[in-house]
Amino acid sequence: MAAMSAHHVHRADLCVVGLGPTGRAVAHRAMRAGFDVVAVDPRPERLWPPTFSCWVDELPQWLPHSAIAQRIEAPTVWTRSQHRIERPYCVLSKPGLREVLALDDATVLAQRATAVGAHRVELQDGGTVTATTVVDTRGLAAPGSRRTASAHGIFVDAEVAAPMVGDGEGLLLDWRDENGAGPGEPPSFLYAVPLGDGTVIFEETSLGLRGGMPQHELRRRTLNRLAAHGIRLRGDEPAEAAHYPLDQPPPPVRAGLRAADPIRFGSRGGMMHPCTGYSVADSLALVDTLIEALRTGTDPVRALWPWQARLVYWMRTRGLYGLGRLTTAQSISMFEAFFTASPRQQRALLSDHDDYAALGAVLFMTVSRTWPFRWRYDLVGWTNRNRWVDYDYQAAIASGQVDRLFP
């Protein structure tokens, strides 16, 4: 790894802009495949802030298991009833992932890119990188009023968390009526998993609302849930915040080899799952598709985004729009239906990049099993399309509509 000085012109086969988990994986695998790689990130040594999780079977074969910090053999989902999901899930180890994605033979520039083109990247210090291919892995901009994933996560000592989450257990989606939100408030659920370092994260999460849900509201709900299980916190536990868009589309077909734009990859390139807010595992799994296309001179955008994958993306955005307009009761009913689907159908929604037939079937089945019948109209957007748009959280608190147990 080398740090270069200002006003340099660097030349490379591949320039990767942005060293989140995705960019680092692209740079690492390309380097191992024999590419001459320059990677650019303002803080390349920083350990990524968020906690990343995924299903174990989503990870690519080449990734050693040292990248996993905690395995959860059968996570729990609470809808109307409790579901045990017989599919191993894991929390990734950030240091472990960094280590297995070593960049020892790449040139790493601790720089912000100011302009990112198809073959040329300009750097803040006046330097330039020219490359046969530029991959843009700069992640996502703030969501504004886009459809958003919002979460507030509190890191709790495992002994304190034990009444709710025991060793090796995990609550993937907890929709129990314990967060203090009334039926007239936008829905959210709890996500709680052990991190493999003696702590458990409790993270109230909202998916699909335009502009997301404020942190103070998510925190209030998390604390209400913990209190419902007799768990009181000190108040100085570390916390993490999530607030990012879920509707970043794949690059257009014409964005391939001969386009004027760089190749967008990772969350910036349509790999953010519109319904789950996950992108890391899918991006890692697709890195070699990208590199193989570059090696063989075929169009990487076509290789990454065949029509089947675009159709899957489109169907998931229907799911996202549905999520963003449901009430809590409707969400529970919808998830109850979803978690009775076959493992293949569940995978088609949650994970697979291009299983459009199973995804179409599970979406249809989920709508057709939603009861009472009229809720289906909300699900597909014929009614209450903008239910939560401009919802005023402050006003709800001020009016006493919201139970402010924990300010």
Ligand X SMILES: Cc1cc2nc3c(=O)[nH]c(=O)nc-3n(C[C@H](O)[C@H](O)[C@H](O)COP(=O)(O)OP(=O)(O)OC[C@H]3O[C@@H](n4cnc5c(N)ncnc54)[C@H](O)[C@@H]3O)c2cc1C
Indicate which single residue of 14, 15, 16, 17 sits in contact with ligand X (rule: CB under 6 A). Answer: 17
Question: How far does CA 154 lie from the centroid of its chain?
Answer: 18
Q: Which long-range contacts (CB under 8 A, 24 or more apart) does 356-365 make?
A: 356/308, 356/311, 356/312, 356/315, 359/312, 359/315, 359/316, 360/315, 362/338, 363/315, 363/318, 363/319, 365/337, 365/341
Residue span binding ligand X (CB under 6 A) among the ranges 18-26, 125-133, 304-312, 378-386: 18-26
Residue span binding ligand X (CB under 6 A) among the ranges 36-44, 78-86, 228-236, 361-369: 36-44
| Least distance from ligand X to the Cβ atom of residue 26, Å | 9
Contact by Cβ (8 Å): 118, 135: no
Sketch the per residue contact string, 143 through 162, with ligand X: x for CB under 6 A, - otherwise: --------x-x---------
* Number of residues binding to ligand X, judged by CB under 6 A: 36
Choice between 204 and 355, CB closer to ligand X: 204
Counted residue by residue, the chain has a size of 407
| Least distance from ligand X to the Cβ atom of residue 46, Å | 7
| Least distance from ligand X to the Cβ atom of residue 386, Å | 26
Contacts (CB under 6 A) with ligand X, residues 219-278: 240, 242, 266-268, 272, 277-278
Indicate which single residue of 14, 21, 174, 312 sits in contact with ligand X (rule: CB under 6 A). Answer: 21
386: Cβ contacts below 8 Å, ≥ 6 apart: 325
Euclidean distance between CA atoms 360 and 349, whole angstroms: 9
Closest CA to 124 of 138, 110, 141: 110
Indicate which single residue of 112, 146, 310, 369 sits in contact with ligand X (rule: CB under 6 A). Answer: 112
Q: What residues are paired with 190 via a beta bridge?
A: 174, 204
Examine residue 138 and tell whether it contacts ligand X (CB under 6 A). yes
16: Cβ contacts below 8 Å, ≥ 6 apart: 23, 26, 27, 30, 37, 38, 39, 40, 135, 137
Choice between 14 and 337, CB closer to ligand X: 14
Choice between 186 and 277, CB closer to ligand X: 277
| Least distance from ligand X to the Cβ atom of residue 398, Å | 28
Examine residue 39 and tell whether it contacts ligand X (CB under 6 A). no
Q: Burial level of 158, CB count in 10 A (0-12/13-18/19+)?
A: middle
| Least distance from ligand X to the Cβ atom of residue 228, Å | 23
Euclidean distance between CA atoms 24 and 263, whole angstroms: 15
Contacts (CB under 6 A) with ligand X, residues 278-297: 278-281, 283
Residue span binding ligand X (CB under 6 A) among the ranges 51-59, 209-217, 316-324, 394-402: 51-59
Which residues are at the interface with ligand X (CB under 6 A)?
Answer: 17-23, 40-43, 48, 50-54, 112-113, 137-139, 151, 153, 240, 242, 266-268, 272, 277-281, 283
